[in-house]
């Protein structure tokens, strides 16, 4: 099973728009991410995202690019939410999943899954950059990380 963690595309600063939609650069990043995801030898069967516009739009673009992958909103994927609910859900999922979320939540989740502690600093997330984890039974390992600016 693959677990793919992605921070949404670049968003407008909150002072300009509190809803924080994607910027033009963010839309370009999401397009690059979608094209990259289409070339992978596997697709997610499910895309989970927060209810925030920037995460939802990122998830929608990837879903569309992959032929309409099912999307579901989760109330516990916001920037400062605890990671435990997502960790618990991942234990019960048996399909490839893409999680589109926010920092610091995604960083804490990745560090907990890979290093056993959300306080470890082992991943430097950037917008629209997929971190791919591979779960085999009870073990989890880093499969790949692709920074958006390296995807062409």
* pLDDT for position 67: 97
Distances, alpha carbon 55 to alpha carbons 71, 121, 139, 141, in Å: 11, 23, 28, 25
Q: What is the rounded distance in angstroms from the CA atom of residue 77 to the CA atom of residue 54?
A: 12
Alpha-carbon gap, residue 61 to 33, rounded angstroms: 9
Q: Is the pLDDT of residue 107 over 80?
A: yes
Query: For position 72, what pLDDT does the model report?
Result: 98
Q: Which tokens go with 37?
A: 């995801």
Q: Would you give the DSSP letter of residue 52?
A: S
The model carries a pTM of 0.95
What confidence tier does 120 reach under pLDDT thresholds 50, 70, 90?
Answer: confident
Please report where in the chains the tokens 């995460």 appear, as a residue.
55
Domain boundary assignment for the chain: 2-150
> What local confidence, expressed as pLDDT, does residue 19 receive?
92
What are the tokens at 93? 């999922």
* Whether CATH 3.40.50.150 fits 2-150: no
| Confidence at 137, pLDDT banded by 50, 70, 90 | confident
């Amino acid at each position: 099973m693959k677990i793919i963690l992605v921070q949404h595309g670049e968003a407008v600063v909150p002072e300009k728009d509190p809803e924080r939609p994607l910027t033009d650069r963010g839309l370009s990043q999401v397009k690059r991410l979608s094209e990259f995801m289409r070339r992978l030898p596997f697709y997610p069967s499910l895309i989970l995202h927060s209810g925030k516009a920037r995460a939802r739009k990122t998830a929608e673009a990837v879903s569309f690019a992959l032929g309409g992958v099912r999307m579901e909103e989760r109330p516990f994927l916001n920037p400062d939410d605890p990671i435990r609910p997502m960790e618990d859900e991942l234990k019960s999922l048996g399909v490839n999943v893409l999680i589109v979320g926010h920092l610091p939540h995604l960083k804490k989740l990745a560090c907990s899954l890979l290093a056993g502690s959300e306080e470890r600093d082992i991943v430097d997330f950037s917008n629209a950059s997929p971190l791919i984890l591979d779960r085999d039974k009870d073990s989890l390992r880093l499969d790949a990380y692709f920074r958006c600016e390296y995807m062409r």
